[in-house]
Structure 1
Amino acid sequence: MLVDVAPEHVEGWAEELASLIAGLGHLFARPEPREVFADLIEGLLSDLGRKNGWTIAERAGHATPHRIQKFLGEASWDADALLAEVQDYIARELGDGQATLVLDDTQVQKKGTRSVGVARQHCGVTGDVRNCQVMVMLTYAAGDGHTFYDRRLYLPKAWTGDPERCRQVGVPDGTAFATKPQLGIAMLTTALERSLPFAWVAADADYGKDPALRDFLHERLLPYVLAAPVTLPLAGPPGKPDLGAPQVTCAGDLLHYAISRDQWERRSQGEGSKGQRYYDWTWFEVTLPGQAPADGFAHHLLIRRSTGKKQLAGGRVDFEYAYFLVHHPRDAALPEAVRHAGVRWKIEENNETAKQITGLGQYQVRRWNSWHRHVTCAMLALAFLTVQRAHHPDPELDAAPQEPAGQEHEPGKAQQPQEGSACRSSA
């Protein structure tokens, strides 16, 4: 994991970093912003404890943070042009036809009300409602590494419904409210338009329950594994002929069928920081009411069960379960779906690494342009680290202790639904 990268590793990559920064000089019309850009990227990759305008300026030998602040706020350059260069760099260095694109959002806690997009809203970092900004991110998870490919700032309706407030922080005129899944669709559209090589899409339940996102993926013949809420309406599994058409039920209620069917396979969801993450898995074909799969595809409900019983909320001891809706070519097999379900957690690792190492959430900016500039620079720093680790692996860093089968170590906010939720309705 990149959280293990030490300053001496970055120092060893100085020549590659200098070449990368020099190759982006054409984005800036004058020498001074080119110099400040180099100072900023090097600062984001340094061993500074905090990575904001003051600390990075001091490291670069600036008397004040004015040059960094001007670069992020007033200088003439295009954050989206830099983003396009970052995306080209990722495709060139990590491109993989079997890669997975992973959607999720992350939050940065903020005080006050003046920073663009800030509002009292759900904060996944703390699990409650508090003042924060929400950024929707897209991770490129390839065989050689995983890093952020795109970003969007989520603007709540309290912002988009107040044009003057938006104008004060430089939000472009006409910016309309967009849900998080809609922002995800915009990023997936960009990836397709740029011919990024990938095979599957993955996302958590906030995206998996969105019919418009699923329609987008069906229309483009894209396989996906999307975490599903227990309340996701489903029809199935197919009943016996004498039972007639299957009832419309929900993902959580189909757990009864999975338990009675008793066809579980123990497989690793992928390697974590302490070794392979083993779970028991089962899947079966289902119908998504009103939303057919693409031609040649099928929908399956994939259920993950912990390998042992655990203490659950309320003191009950039982297995933990999670649900995934899988849209796949009919020749796909369960192991492939399990692998992509595991890849989904790579974006959690990117969130953690970018915040700890490349200063993703340590900005001191309030305006629209400044936010996009800082976040894009942090993405470039993370992409650089990912590429260098892929090209120059360190055997000591890659030798992680293994854990015995049956132990689950998974970051993030995995759903732990209970058996038999009350949401059945007749067809």
Structure 2
Amino acid sequence: MEYMMDPAAEQRLQAYLSEIGDVLGHPLRRESFATYALGLLGEAERKSVEPIAARACPDPERVEVAHQRLLHFVSNSHWDDEAVRVHAARYAIGAMTQQAPVTSWIVDDTGFLKKGTHSVGVQRQYTGSAGKTTNCQIGVSLSVATRYHHVPIDFELYLPQSWADDPARRREARIPDQVVYKTKIDLALEMIERAARHGIPGDIVLADAAYGNSNAFRETVRLLGFDYAVGIESPTKVLPLRRRGAVDPSPTVSAADFAQRLGRGAFRRLCWREGTCRTLSSRFALRRVQVAHEDGIPIEQHPPVWLLMEWPDDEPKPTKFALTTLPARMTNKEIVRRFKERYRTEKVYEELKGELGLDHFEGRRFRGWHHHVTVALSCYAFVVAERTRPFPPSAARPRRPRALALAA
């Protein structure tokens, strides 16, 4: 993701950081934000506070002072994460939508691997980042996407009950009193509501089965005015519909059994993207169903949705399932392509961690984690905006603009 910034790109970065500085208000915050952002955009392998301060300070005798100032900015300073993130999101979206409209919002989560027990929110828990249960923090993210670009605009730290209900831990991590235990689904819905309130464009929410299994998540997304395309687990019970909405006389079946019953002949090959090495395609079937869930309402009264089923070439049976409210006027290929947009989030996580130090924060406090993530999101928003340019900066070793000049 490194690139050579020409003078024009440096000027754009200077203007961008100046705009964020206006949001921050205080001159020292402006300077510290620019210093920290340039550290994340720079070449250093480790992008935590101490090495960033060391690289930014030309006077070895003042490195410790610079370190303490930057540490205070990240861990203790009272500035508005939401306001900065919204500005960064609008900046990236303004560039992205020059090529294509924002259509999708993607909910996902990622792990921040840790060794100790004192970083806020850390415990042994499952994360897809490691593919296992391990010692980590979990961050829930909201991204927005066009057909060509994908940018994360919000993040929330998942705070397990072992932290939320422990007064000593809360004091140590300086967790605000108003922060209480919330599920990952709760955090995701709050971010969706927040983005909607700020007028972020988009019309469909995408998520994996960790969120899609929740009827409350699906219903809330619909109440907020969005369509959805969300993964579900194979045991999910559905009631198939015949043509014109007539209910199939057979009883409810699991999504897996229903797909198996259809047989291989019902699945058609569809391509959703041209990858770097090969065309991405698989076999899919789409059927109208009603979904069973424990709400006291007969399943026949639940609104019909599409059940999307995938039968990968190397599998003896269908293995992937999703529910979507995307309209029938869309082609099957378009529905599949929209749903598959969420998989780009993994690439975004890789870049945020590998290139911008998203998981390099070594502080232990609640505010510090969110401040660090805000700066990383702001840096990524700038990079995405640069990528939309007809002639983006070349892939080469970057020139490092001076922090104070950009902070002015």
Q: TM-score range by the shorter chain?
A: 0.7 to 0.9
Percentage identity across paired residues of the two chains: 27
Query: C-alpha separation between the residues in 2 aligned to 1:227 and 1:271?
Result: 22
- What letter matches 2:345 in structure 1? I
User: CA separation of 1:106/1:12 partners in 2, compared to 1, >3 Å: closer, same or farther?
Assistant: farther
Tell me which of 83, 86, 99 is aligned to 1:84: 86
User: CA separation of 1:395/1:264 partners in 2, compared to 1, >3 Å: closer, same or farther?
Assistant: farther
User: Conserved in 2, the CA contact under 8 Å of 1:104 and 1:347?
Assistant: yes
User: CA separation of 1:243/1:287 partners in 2, compared to 1, >3 Å: closer, same or farther?
Assistant: closer
Q: CA deviation at 1:302?
A: 0.8
Query: C-alpha separation between the residues in 2 aligned to 1:75 and 1:210?
Result: 37
Q: CA deviation at 1:81?
A: 2.3
User: CA separation of 1:243/1:198 partners in 2, compared to 1, >3 Å: closer, same or farther?
Assistant: closer
State the partner residue of 2:308: 302
Query: C-alpha separation between the residues in 2 aligned to 1:391 and 1:354?
Result: 20
User: CA separation of 1:26/1:323 partners in 2, compared to 1, >3 Å: closer, same or farther?
Assistant: same
Q: CA deviation at 1:97?
A: 4.3
- What letter matches 1:35 in structure 2? E
Q: CA deviation at 1:381?
A: 0.6
Q: CA deviation at 1:138?
A: 0.7
Query: C-alpha separation between the residues in 2 aligned to 1:271 and 1:175?
Result: 43
Aligned residue pair count: 383
State the partner residue of 1:264: 267
Query: C-alpha separation between the residues in 2 aligned to 1:199 and 1:224?
Result: 8
User: Conserved in 1, the CA contact under 8 Å of 2:106 and 2:342?
Assistant: yes
State the partner residue of 1:194: 198
User: CA separation of 1:101/1:10 partners in 2, compared to 1, >3 Å: closer, same or farther?
Assistant: farther
State the partner residue of 2:362: 364
The answer to which structure, 1 or 2, has the higher relative contact order (CA under 8 A, 6+ apart) is 2
Query: C-alpha separation between the residues in 1 aligned to 2:39 and 2:204?
Result: 35
Structure 1, unaligned stretches of length 5 or more?
Answer: 311-317, 398-427
Query: C-alpha separation between the residues in 2 aligned to 1:188 and 1:242?
Result: 34
SS of 2:180's equivalent in the other structure is coil
SS of 2:112's equivalent in the other structure is strand
State the partner residue of 2:76: 74
State the partner residue of 2:399: none
TM-score for both structures, normalised by structure 2: 0.86
Q: CA deviation at 1:395?
A: 10
Query: C-alpha separation between the residues in 2 aligned to 1:201 and 1:134?
Result: 20
- What letter matches 1:231 in structure 2? P
Question: Is the counterpart of residue 50 in structure 1 residue 53 in structure 2?
Answer: no
Query: C-alpha separation between the residues in 1 aligned to 2:388 and 2:246?
Result: 56
Q: CA deviation at 1:363?
A: 0.7
State the partner residue of 2:96: 94
Deviations 1:279-324 (A, max 9, x none): 111111111125899x9x7411111222x336xxxxxxx3663111
Q: CA deviation at 1:7?
A: 3.5
User: Conserved in 1, the CA contact under 8 Å of 2:4 and 2:394?
Assistant: no
- What letter matches 1:361 in structure 2? D
User: CA separation of 1:243/1:236 partners in 2, compared to 1, >3 Å: closer, same or farther?
Assistant: closer
RMSD: 2.8
State the partner residue of 2:381: 383
State the partner residue of 2:111: 107
State the partner residue of 2:224: 220
- What letter matches 1:63 in structure 2? V
User: CA separation of 1:169/1:396 partners in 2, compared to 1, >3 Å: closer, same or farther?
Assistant: closer
Question: Is the counterpart of residue 176 in structure 1 residue 174 in structure 2?
Answer: no
More helix by share: 2
| Mapping 1:134-149, distance limit 5 Å | 134-149=138-153
SS of 1:370's equivalent in the other structure is helix
- What letter matches 2:288 in structure 1? E
Query: C-alpha separation between the residues in 1 aligned to 2:248 and 2:147?
Result: 45
Comparing 371-380 with 135-144, greater Cα deviation is found at 135-144
- What letter matches 1:343 in structure 2? E
Query: C-alpha separation between the residues in 1 aligned to 2:196 and 2:231?
Result: 22
Q: CA deviation at 1:75?
A: 2.8
